[in-house]
Amino acid sequence: MGFLEELKALLPGRVLTGEAELAPYESDALTAYRKRPLAVVLPETKEEVVGVVRLCHRYGVPFVARGSGTSLSGGSLPVEDGIVIALNRLNRILRLDPRARIAVVEPGVVNLEVSRQAAPHGLYYAPDPSSQPVSTIGGNVAFNSGGAHCLKYGMTANHVLGLEVVTPAGEVVRLGGESLEGVGPDLFGFFVGTEGLLGIALEITLRLLPRPEAYHTVLAAYESLEKAGEAVSRVIRTGLLPGAMEIMDRLAIEAAEAAVKAGYPKAEGLLIVELEGEREEVEEEAHHLHRVIRESGALEVRVAASEAERQAIWKGRKAAFSAVGRLSPDYIVQDGVVPRSRLGEALKEIQRLSQAYGLRVANVFHAGDGNLHPLVLYDGKKPGELSRAEALAGEILRLCIRLGGSITGEHGVGVEKKAYLREMFSEADVEAMERVKASLDPKGLANRGKVFDPQMEAAP
Amino acid sequence: MTLRPENLEEVREAVLTHPYLRVRGGGTKPALSAPREGEVLLDLSGLKGLLAYEPEEFVFTALAGTPVSEIEETLRAHGQYLPFDPPLAKAGATLGGTVAAGLSGPMRWRYGGLRDFLLGVRFVDGEGNLLRGGGKVVKNAAGFPFHRLMVGALGAFGVMVEVSFKVFPLPPATRTLRVGFSRLEEALSALERLRLLPLDLLALDLIPPNTLELRLGGFPESLRRRTEKLARLLEGSETVLEEDEAHWEGVGELAFLGESPIWVKIPSQPGLIPRLEGLPLGPRRYMAGGELLYAGLEEGGLKALRELGLPHLVLKGAGTPLYPEPPAAFYGPLKKALDPRGRFPGRPSPA
Ligand SMILES: Cc1cc2nc3c(=O)[nH]c(=O)nc-3n(C[C@H](O)[C@H](O)[C@H](O)COP(=O)(O)OP(=O)(O)OC[C@H]3O[C@@H](n4cnc5c(N)ncnc54)[C@H](O)[C@@H]3O)c2cc1C
Ligand SMILES: Cc1cc2nc3c(=O)[nH]c(=O)nc-3n(C[C@H](O)[C@H](O)[C@H](O)COP(=O)(O)OP(=O)(O)OC[C@H]3O[C@@H](n4cnc5c(N)ncnc54)[C@H](O)[C@@H]3O)c2cc1C
């Protein structure tokens, strides 16, 4: 028997090889890249995943784990002649223990589902990428996904307590446990964010938090982006620690308005600040926040008086990415990070680059963490526009490195930012990462060609 | 033999010259940093100083041998702090030693532990390469996160020379409530109830057999109301501690472990506490909502922990500090990639 025959024997009826069956798996949310895999497999248990990985290891066939395929950096792009292991059917919450404040989940569980199941206990799962209604916990773990609340609550890595992983060599290991504290090297923390290069997460233990008792959400409109950015600095200087601080520029506001009619004021910059926590504390903090916002020269200030009004404020922000799709046939989402105090400088430079390249750039970003999301608008049907858009996006990444930041805050390196990894890190740094990869995956099978340059198949 | 490098180059040189090394930071966790036979001691206390700190960024970078207490002083002057509450600061713990040991204190309850606040490191691997993991901004997802690998690794993968941390604004005021119950079961059930409420406590500790200590932080105007609310919620015999600051400093120094010959850290969970309470553990305190136990032991206590297979880390006292060993199938290849000659502690035992 050959590889495909053995695969089919392992997962009867759940190995896709037909043209039409493979098409939906050819790319992820970075649609500019496309590759046809050899096959797509649909395991239903972790034992089946382990079986598939061992088979791949034996035959030297590369594999890509896939959650919902919402990666924006080409993380789940298939490898030619490799297989896609689609994990959506591993979507059970195995245990939700409110007393221990943990949930043990399969990798294909959708992010929002965890909070939904935890809600009756007054608990929730904090990391909230905008893709949370569709993206999976496995994908979140691989990419160390973030969201609007990272400054205060951290990214996915901060909410994972333990992992069961199958290594590329087919060995199953348990890393971490169920307590907030552990002993020994933080191996599960290390696995988070390695983009599926070191194995597949089979089971994930998440920590849950009590839902905040009260929120105080403020929307402030400014005559310039700089003023909105300055307001963020003022808030920080007051000693407040908001749960979220988000900024949108005029283009992003217009897009969001056109798409979901959030009722945002017309302005050059919108700032959303949300306080959250114990009721008495939030009330007190709100006084301080209002003083700061008053002094920041806002044109208009709205305060959510009810949960419905709060949701209305967030609606436009959460829809911003997809809304920009209405302004332009195609766009690239960038994800660089700069020190917060250099946001103004970065935005000005992005503006200049946008003019120089003749492409519109919309900005929506996590201002509290200095995490920019410039959306570079282009039309893929016009010759040369894609490569111009990519060049502009690359300039933005270089800018972030120059200002002391990072090439990615949450979307990962994938295939998209491979070239820039070597600009952010030294040759020795990248070599050490590659050594780690080669040591855990001597045949270079797990998500080959992502993050680093494709690894040659090592001699058996 | 002891080496005391003063700069990164000297650290690299030491690593390249000596076959076996063990790092010492401040001298607060002797079980981890006392050199074993054949090892050269690399004393990092000369590698200290703050390299970058802009309060508005919520980030600082410092050399790994910098005493935690010096950092805390600087942060405090700008109304900021390290929310994971590094223990043994007064005793001389260094930033590098705190990361390598993976230690957090009682206030880790509110915002998370050491692992949640470490943003980046520079370290020298077993081949003398100076490497970087993570970054110096509060959010970053680029490259393999070597910084998180350093947490709790006891120096197994390299010598940290530089560390970057996220910090937070220091609560303008704090208050502490101590509540006595008649039995452990009652204290434990109150603890479990509090864990599920949106109370934003800075610290939530159980002092067996029957006492809870709760620390709140925030604006002074709201603190009084919050403390009263808590007291109503608890209906025990409660006292508000006036000497709040000094009290928690003592807890952070693990003063309650006293003269115990062996000091251990044990990952815990409320559901595990009745079982732990059945062991001969000596002076102890469950921190962070019952998730973190520091205990002072005699040999018998240590033996009991091992017999029951309960993971723990020995900070002081003889013997193998870490139990159990990390899983070989994942740890082994990492160790091989970063320290192929096994210069640093933590050589995997042959399978
Ligand atoms: C509209 C939109 C908004 C977004 N907003 C955000 C945001 O706010 N914050 C953010 O961080 N990201 C955001 N993203 C990006 C994306 O949603 C995240 O990266 C998400 O974590 C991907 O999850 P997924 O299930 O779709 O994974 P996939 O795209 O299927 O896979 C992503 C990567 O994870 C690997 N992988 C998947 N499962 C496993 C597993 N079990 N074990 C090991 N590796 C695995 C894959 O091989 C791949 O490398 C957004 C994307 C879209 C389209
Ligand atoms: C033979 C001998 C016996 C001793 N016995 C005792 C005793 O019984 N009681 C006593 O109080 N003192 C004793 N001492 C002194 C004591 O060992 C040292 O003061 C202490 O070991 C230093 O520990 P530390 O707290 O600085 O460790 P930390 O700095 O807290 O280090 C803890 C851990 O981190 C590692 N580490 C530290 N910094 C780094 C870094 N930058 N990069 C990577 N890893 C790092 C260490 O190797 C160790 O694993 C003894 C010393 C010797 C030489």
What's the pLDDT tens digit per position in A437-448?
999 999 999 999
* Residue B213 distance to chain A (closest CA, Å): 19
Per DSSP, the residues of A27-81 read --S-TT-----SEEE---SHHHHHHHHHHHHHHT--EEEESSS--SSSTTPPPTT
- Please tell me the distance between residue B22's alpha carbon and the centre of ligand 2 in angstroms: 9
- Please tell me the distance between residue B58's alpha carbon and the centre of ligand 2 in angstroms: 30
Instruction: Name residues 330-349 of chain B within 8 A of A (Cβ).
Output: 330-331, 333-334, 336-338
Q: What is the pLDDT of residues A177-227, one digit of tens each?
A: 999 999 999 999 999 999 999 999 999 999 999 999 999 999 999 999 989
Spatial separation of the C-alpha atoms in residues A357 and A391, rounded to whole Å? 9
Interchain CB distance below 8 Å, B139 and A366: yes
Spatial separation of the C-alpha atoms in residues A332 and B126, rounded to whole Å? 40
Confidence label for A460 from pLDDT (cuts 50, 70 and 90): very low
Threshold 0.90, pTM exceeds: yes
Q: What atom of ligand 1 comes closest to residue A76's alpha carbon?
A: 48
Interchain CB distance below 8 Å, A180 and B270: no
Sorted by sequence, the CB contacts under 8 Å of residue A129 that are 6+ apart come out as: A111, A135, A140, A145, A146, A147, A410
Above 80 in pLDDT, residue A458? no
Beta bridge partners of B205: B213
Interchain CB distance below 8 Å, A432 and B288: no
Strands B40-43 and B21-24 turn out to be: parallel
Per DSSP, the residues of B296-311 read EE-HHHHHHHHHTT--
| Ligand whose nearest atom lies closest to the CA of A65 | 1
> Which pLDDT belongs to residue A456?
47
Three-class SS state of A103: strand
Q: What is the pLDDT of residues A61-89, one digit of tens each?
A: 999 999 999 999 999 999 989 999 999 99
- Relative orientation angle of helices A385-402 and A343-357, to the nearest 10 degrees: 160
Instruction: Name residues 295-324 of chain B within 8 A of A (Cβ).
Output: 311-313, 322-324
Interface test with B, best of A194, A280, A366, A434 (most B CBs within 10 A): A280
Of the candidates B169, B288, B324, which has its C-beta nearest A180's C-beta? B288
Strands A83-86 and A39-41 turn out to be: parallel
Q: Which residues of A touch B104 (CB under 8 A)?
A: 181
Complex prediction ipTM: 0.96
- Please tell me the distance between residue B80's alpha carbon and the centre of ligand 2 in angstroms: 28
Q: What is the DSSP letter of A454?
A: P
Nearest CA in chain A to B325: A184
Q: What atom of ligand 2 comes closest to residue B91's alpha carbon?
A: 25
Beta bridge partners of B199: none
Q: Which residues of B touch A172 (CB under 8 A)?
A: 329
Interface test with B, best of A54, A164, A181 (most B CBs within 10 A): A181
Interchain CB distance below 8 Å, A405 and B325: no
Question: Atom 51 in ligand 2: which residue has the minimum CA distance?
Answer: B34
- Please tell me the distance between residue A143's alpha carbon and the centre of ligand 1 in angstroms: 6
Interchain CB distance below 8 Å, B141 and A190: no
Interchain CB distance below 8 Å, B139 and A280: no
- Please tell me the distance between residue A197's alpha carbon and the centre of ligand 1 in angstroms: 14
* Residue B292 distance to chain A (closest CA, Å): 6
Sorted by sequence, the CB contacts under 8 Å of residue B334 that are 6+ apart come out as: A185, A187, A190, A436, A439, A440, B149, B157
| Ligand whose nearest atom lies closest to the CA of A70 | 1
Above 50 in pLDDT, residue A373? yes
Sorted by sequence, the CB contacts under 8 Å of residue A120 that are 6+ apart come out as: none
Q: Write out residues in chain B with pLDDT < 70, as ranges.
A: 27, 31, 350-351
Q: What is the mean pLDDT of residues A47-59?
A: 98
Residue A253's H or E segment, with its range, is helix A250-260
- C-alpha distances in angstroms, A67 versus A29, A43, A73, A140, A334? 12, 12, 14, 9, 21
Interface test with A, best of B125, B144, B164, B335 (most A CBs within 10 A): B144
Spatial separation of the C-alpha atoms in residues A59 and A53, rounded to whole Å? 10
Instruction: Name residues 68-127 of chain B within 8 A of A (Cβ).
Output: 79, 102, 104, 108, 111-113, 115-116, 125
Interchain CB distance below 8 Å, A155 and B139: yes
Q: What is the pLDDT of residues A247-260, one digit of tens each?
A: 999 999 998 988 88
Burial class (CB in 10 A: 0-12, 13-18, 19+), A215: middle
- Asked if residues A97 and A179 have their Cβ atoms less than 8 Å apart, the reply is no
Q: Which residues of B touch A281 (CB under 8 A)?
A: 200, 218-219, 222, 226
Nearest CA in chain B to A405: B137
> Above pLDDT 90, what percent of chain A?
89
Phi-psi group of B72: left, alpha or beta (phi > 0 → left; psi -120 to 50 → alpha; rest → beta)? alpha
- Please tell me the distance between residue A136's alpha carbon and the centre of ligand 1 in angstroms: 7
Nearest CA in chain B to A210: B198
Q: Which residues of A touch B79 (CB under 8 A)?
A: 239
Q: Which residues of A touch B141 (CB under 8 A)?
A: 143-144, 146, 155, 193, 406, 408-412
- Relative orientation angle of helices A225-237 and A279-295, to the nearest 10 degrees: 130
Nearest CA in chain A to B191: A99
At CA B315, angle to CA B179 and CA B43, rounded to 5? Answer: 130
* Residue B335 distance to chain A (closest CA, Å): 9
Choice from A72, A84, A326 to test ligand 1 binding pocket (greatest atom count within 8 A of CB): A72
Instruction: Name residues 4-33 of chain B within 8 A of A (Cβ).
Output: none
| Ligand whose nearest atom lies closest to the CA of B2 | 2
Interface test with A, best of B75, B139, B223 (most A CBs within 10 A): B139
> Which pLDDT belongs to residue A454?
65
- Asked if residues A204 and A105 have their Cβ atoms less than 8 Å apart, the reply is yes
Instruction: Spell out which residues line ligand 2, taking CB within 6 angstroms.
Output: B 22-30, 32-35, 44, 64, 93-94, 96-97, 100-101, 154-155, 159-160
> Which pLDDT belongs to residue B36?
84
Spatial separation of the C-alpha atoms in residues A405 and B135, rounded to whole Å? 7
> Which pLDDT belongs to residue B25?
83
Among candidates A179, A102, A181, which has minimal Cα distance to B313?
Answer: A181
Among candidates A183, A209, A232, A195, which has minimal Cα distance to A437?
Answer: A195
Q: Which residues of A touch B196 (CB under 8 A)?
A: 98, 101, 121-123, 210
- Please tell me the distance between residue A92's alpha carbon and the centre of ligand 1 in angstroms: 18
